[in-house]
Structure 1
Amino acid sequence: MSRLAVAALRRASVASGVPSSSSRSAAFAPSVPRLFSTDASGEVADGAAAQGSQDESFFKPSEEGLAYGRFYSSIPGGSRLGKSMLKTDIIHHLDKCELSLDDVKIDYNRGYYPVGALLRFSSVPLFNTAVRQTRDGRMYRLEMVSREEFDLKQSYDGKAILLQGVPRNALPEDIERFLSGTNFEPPPFQSFLRPGVPDPIRVVLVKFRSRTDAANAFITKNRGFCLTNPVSMRVLQ
């Protein structure tokens, strides 16, 4: 067959729509999935991973944040702390919990006896550590309370002193005279009667300008005399 005949046949096959051998092999070759470029595929993968991590952190309960607890005695029949217990005593007892003086509020009843302490922890894990420490010691208990209960509790912060045994006929001027030389806040003083034997005991609450002022007053005036009565003093935490 001449070259002209071969060329004519090829043109005829193309015009009639019959695929050539090369076109048939391309049509039946296995398809290859289209790939993104390296940069694009990396961005898609990173975006999916980031979205997954966001979802995981959103649904996973967080252990970060503040936690609050009530610390009290485990002695049966009473929940009072010792009258002489200080904030630092509680901090040392829970020495693994990173508490500061501002994280502890002593809870007093109406007679100013300490019935417990409200504590603020910087995280839930530290609260759990405190629970384990109190459980191991078996002398105290710790239960979770709300933030509102902690915030609403007044803290005397070592700046107030309870005068016990003040004469019932003592005037504010007599109390000021007893406290002379100390940096106390001026009257009015809070005063009430506590049951005692044989007579009720007059108790007066005096506030000072700082912890140092209250400590100095306790050192210099405790067991001193107001009129003719000896007066004992107790610093409120």
Structure 2
Amino acid sequence: MSRLATVALPRGVAATRDLYSWRLSSFAPAFPRLFSADASGEASAATSAAAGSQEDSFLKASDEGVAYGRFYSVVPGGNNLGRDMLKTDIIHCLDKCDLSLEDVKIDYNRGYYPMGALLRFPSKASFTSAVRQISQARLYRLEQISRDQWDLKQSLGGKALLLQGVPRNAVPEDIERFLCGINFEPPPFESFLRPGVPDPIRMVLVKCPTKTDAMNAFITKNRSFCLNSPVSIRVLQ
């Protein structure tokens, strides 16, 4: 074999190997890189960060959910609410908390004396703001309650009348005559006695279809007479 052929033979073998390697690489499947720091790794990191951000947002939204509280007086003879206090008075007292009339339920005892008010706040931040406002005035207290306590309390919604001083011998027909001209739900009426001096005072609860009917009754019938006895009327919220 000549010297020229001896030199050319290794070069031909090398060229053949290169061509074979190129063909293998052309048809070989492309596998994804694992644990790499290239663009795909950055995309994965971005996806993970976005998922974490969404999770944080969900937890934050859950933390900012609705809160419930009980509002009452702490003045001497407290743990109650002034008889003449309205829902609007409470809303104005907590004017930084975004409360509406539907967010307030008056908590009456069995004798329909207001013992406090149940409040529904749009967020926990709003509840915290209310606590801060009340602590400055020092006339009232606000305690957190559960949603069950809120749901179980029925709201009279300004549609109920409490008649005070009804004669003890008055029958339902006498009360209907007293309320003549007023829209109200027919008997039976709820009736009970409240301690008084010198004698117990008879109270009668009458429900009306609307707030307007109840307010009309208060305006036109308060301090009117039933069987020659004056009867005072209070609208229950």
Normalising by structure 2, what TM-score?
A: 0.83
> Which residue pairs with 2:88 in the alignment?
88
Please report how far the alpha carbon of residue 48 of structure 1 lies from its aligned counterpart in structure 2 after TM superposition: 2.4
| 1:126 aligned onto 2:142 | no
Is the Cα contact below 8 Å between 1:192 and 1:202 reproduced in 2?
A: yes
Please report how far the alpha carbon of residue 137 of structure 1 lies from its aligned counterpart in structure 2 after TM superposition: 1.1
> Which residue pairs with 1:187 in the alignment?
187
**Aligned residue pair count:** 217
| 1:115 aligned onto 2:115 | yes
| 1:106 aligned onto 2:129 | no
> Which residue pairs with 2:227 in the alignment?
227
> Which residue pairs with 1:11 in the alignment?
9
Please report how far the alpha carbon of residue 210 of structure 1 lies from its aligned counterpart in structure 2 after TM superposition: 0.6
Is the Cα contact below 8 Å between 2:167 and 2:226 reproduced in 1?
A: yes
| 2:232 alignment partner AA | S
Please report how far the alpha carbon of residue 62 of structure 1 lies from its aligned counterpart in structure 2 after TM superposition: 3.5
Please report how far the alpha carbon of residue 9 of structure 1 lies from its aligned counterpart in structure 2 after TM superposition: 3.9
Give the unaligned 5+ runs of structure 1. Answer: 17-33
Give the unaligned 5+ runs of structure 2. Answer: 15-32
Is the Cα contact below 8 Å between 2:160 and 2:205 reproduced in 1?
A: yes
> Which residue pairs with 2:213 in the alignment?
213
| 2:205 alignment partner AA | L
CA distance in structure 1 between the aligned counterparts of 2:4 and 2:41, rounded to whole angstroms: 49
| 1:173 aligned onto 2:173 | yes
Normalising by structure 1, what TM-score?
A: 0.83
CA distance in structure 2 between the aligned counterparts of 1:181 and 1:100, rounded to whole angstroms: 32
CA distance in structure 2 between the aligned counterparts of 1:48 and 1:6, rounded to whole angstroms: 63
> Which residue pairs with 2:23 in the alignment?
none
Is the Cα contact below 8 Å between 1:70 and 1:118 reproduced in 2?
A: yes
Is the Cα contact below 8 Å between 2:194 and 2:203 reproduced in 1?
A: yes
Identity %: 66
Please report how far the alpha carbon of residue 8 of structure 1 lies from its aligned counterpart in structure 2 after TM superposition: 1.8
Q: CA RMSD in A?
A: 2.5
Is the Cα contact below 8 Å between 1:63 and 1:125 reproduced in 2?
A: no
Cα deviation digits, residues 154-199 of structure 1 (max 9, x gap): 1111000100000000010000000001111111100001111111
- When residues 8 and 101 of structure 1 are mapped into structure 2, their CA distance, relative to the original with a 3 A threshold, is same
| 1:49 alignment partner AA | A
> Which residue pairs with 2:75 in the alignment?
75
Please report how far the alpha carbon of residue 53 of structure 1 lies from its aligned counterpart in structure 2 after TM superposition: 2.0
Is the Cα contact below 8 Å between 2:72 and 2:78 reproduced in 1?
A: no
> Which residue pairs with 1:163 in the alignment?
163
Please report how far the alpha carbon of residue 76 of structure 1 lies from its aligned counterpart in structure 2 after TM superposition: 4.1
